[in-house]
């Protein structure tokens, strides 16, 4: 059963079916951070995929989330360089929500990736 997008908000953590993918896009079903303020009337949502694979070094376009953040079971990293807009029907479960400080770190990494000065 899909997630009710009207209950989501900026900083929600949801499981998303990202397949099928092309080239180097991140795939499979995985947690993602919702990074938009309101549900889009076309039934889409912008998400940032999350991985538990530690990067070889710190990257400014990735944000670390500790175990427990937003319902995550392991230490994780938000891959802001893989920002995607997906159909709400791809969302399978709402896991939880980030704290304002955690969301701030994710937003900083996304802004860096997009080249937007803060």
pLDDT tens digits, residue range 47-74? 999 999 999 999 999 999 999 999 999 9
Output the pLDDT for position 11. Answer: 96
- Angle at alpha carbon of residue 105, lines to 101 and 110, rounded to 5°: 140
- Angle at alpha carbon of residue 49, lines to 46 and 52, rounded to 5°: 160
Asked whether 65 and 98 are in contact (CB, 8 A), the reply is yes
Q: What is the mean pLDDT of residues 25-38?
A: 92
More confident residue, 37 or 100: 100
CA dihedral 102, 38, 79, 90 (to 10 degrees): 130
Looking at residue 36, the DSSP 8-state letter turns out to be: S
Average pLDDT, the chain: 93
At the top level of CATH, which class does the domain 5-114 belong to?
A: mainly beta
Residue 112 above 80 pLDDT?
yes
Residue 10 CB partners (closer than 8 Å, separation 6+): 34, 35, 36, 37, 103
């Amino acid at each position: 059963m899909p997630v009710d997008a009207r209950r989501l908000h900026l900083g929600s953590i949801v499981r998303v079916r990202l397949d099928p993918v092309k080239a180097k896009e991140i795939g499979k079903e995985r947690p993602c951070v919702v990074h938009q303020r309101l549900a889009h009337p076309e039934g889409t949502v912008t998400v940032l995929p999350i991985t538990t694979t530690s990067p070889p070094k710190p990257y400014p376009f990735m944000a670390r989330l500790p175990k427990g953040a937003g319902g995550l079971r392991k230490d994780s990293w938000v891959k802001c360089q893989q920002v995607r807009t997906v159909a709400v029907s791809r969302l399978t479960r709402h896991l939880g929500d980030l704290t304002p400080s955690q969301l701030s770190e994710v937003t900083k990494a996304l802004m860096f990736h997009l080249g937007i000065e803060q």
